[in-house]
Structure 1
């Protein structure tokens, strides 16, 4: 897992890009989520939650903790991007006063 600050992304004439985060990858699919409840845990199904492709979360609002392999390993807050590698078990847990709002993207290598 890598935690990045959006302000550190490589600038482009239209604003920051993800190209500098994981070169050679494009967005395969993605979405926007709002979780108003504190202590909400993403991917709350039983067992590990992994993908065969990298996944990026861009935190728009809120804060909380990052859980990998069942352990809390770091904190996150608005303005950060979290990159999880293929096969890495991952969950976000909302722990702030504000609702957790984020954009998620699955990436795939450029063919």
Structure 2
């Protein structure tokens, strides 16, 4: 897991390529989510939640905890960009007074 800020994306971001996040990767798919209540945990299905590609979360509003492999691994707040590596069991847990709002993207290597 790596944590950046939105400011880190501005210097090198060009189109769908996230050259400042993961060189040589493009956005494959993504979405937008709102978690209205504190305590909600992303990917809350049973078992591990992993991907074969990197996943990037851009936090628009809210704050909370980053969980990796079942343990708290850090905190996030609005303006953070959290990158989960392939194979990491990962979750975000909303813990702030404001609803958690974020975008998510799965990246894939450029062919």
TM-score > 0.5 by shorter chain: yes
Q: Displacement, 1:100?
A: 0.2
| Paired residues of 2:66 and 2:73 also in contact (CA < 8 A) | yes
- Structure 2 unaligned residues grouped into runs of 5+: none
Aligned residue pairs total 110
**Aligned match of 2:60:** 60
Taking the aligned partners of 1:49 and 1:13, their CA distance within structure 2 comes to 28
Matched ranges for 1:10-89 at <5 A: 10-11=10-11, 18-89=18-89
* Runs of at least 4 residues off by over 4 Å: 12-15
Q: Displacement, 1:11?
A: 2.1
Q: TM-score, normalised by structure 1?
A: 0.93
- Structure 1 unaligned residues grouped into runs of 5+: none
Taking the aligned partners of 1:39 and 1:72, their CA distance within structure 2 comes to 14
Q: TM-score, normalised by structure 2?
A: 0.93
Partner secondary structure for residue 18 of structure 1: coil
Q: Displacement, 1:12?
A: 5.4
